[in-house]
Amino acid sequence: MAKEMTRITAATFVSTLKRIPPPVITLFALAGFAAAYVGSSYSAWVAQRFAENSQSARFKVCHQDCLAQKVPRVDCYGGCEKIAYEGWYQGNLALTEYADRQWWIWALSFPAAVTLAMLVGIVLNWLPNLQPAKFLPALGLLFFSSAVAAIVMIAAAGIVWTLAPLPTAVAYAWLLTRTQKVLTERAENGLAFSPLLLAIPAGALLGGLLHLILPDFAWFSGAEILWAILFGGSLAIPTTIETAT
């Protein structure tokens, strides 16, 4: 049964992509890529700052300097161990602000990029399913959903760091379907939840390939590209999209 459901989900995912007009795919793929790369590059910068704040590196420098001075009866090892720890601890405290900020950048860059793509699509008349009167309420929901995701990640990062992104991604995928329904007000054009779920592992593969080209690109952020394409495509496809969940 699980394999059958996976095949159905994959079929829905592929059939949805095939029906999206190529210009819309290009537009929203660029938006998703821009959002993912902004978050990835900032997170890479933060990770580099934490790597540079190395307790062992601080100890090594301090110990070498202490031995070079050849001061009698000075415990270079014990003194430098304390100095290195205090420097590392204070450095980590200072970097926490940047570590927390990365989740806001991750969360808000996606709705910002998708909003820009939608505005371009409206101007070019590529998004016939979008209801202009519902544009601002849908944007409010999209940015609110992103803010919730950021808060969840900040709260969970220190507890279950390796597991926190997955439930957050699943919840955000569901919130995208709610946002799309507000934008279109048409159930027959509803954005299916199952393809958005499949976009998470598929996006990880895509992100892994992009990481080989752009080392700062986070492998897990490839889902944002596929989410953006599916979201934009649901506003452009004139035919019915399956609404299986």
Contact assessment for residue 178 and residue 137, using Cβ atoms and an 8 Å cutoff: no
Mean of the per-residue pLDDT values for the chain?
A: 81
Whole-number pLDDT of residue 164: 63
CA distances from 144 to 45, 73, 114, 180, 244 (A): 26, 61, 14, 14, 25
For range 117-128, the mean pLDDT: 92
In a domain, 227, yes or no: yes
In a domain, 27, yes or no: yes
Q: Structurally, how many domains does the chain consist of?
A: 1
In a domain, 141, yes or no: yes
In a domain, 120, yes or no: yes
Contact assessment for residue 4 and residue 240, using Cβ atoms and an 8 Å cutoff: no
The pTM of the full predicted model, rounded to 2 decimals, is 0.79
In a domain, 69, yes or no: no
pLDDT tens across 23-79, in order? 999 999 999 999 999 999 998 998 888 888 888 888 888 888 888 887 777 788 788
Top pLDDT among 16 and 230 is at 230
Print the domain residue range for 153. 2-50+96-234
In a domain, 242, yes or no: no
The sign one gets for the Cα dihedral 27, 31, 34, 36 is negative
Whole-number pLDDT of residue 215: 92
In a domain, 78, yes or no: no
pLDDT score of 190 more than 70: no
In a domain, 112, yes or no: yes
Angle in degrees, CA 92, 95, 100, rounded to 5:
120
Whole-number pLDDT of residue 6: 53
Angle in degrees, CA 198, 201, 204, rounded to 5:
135
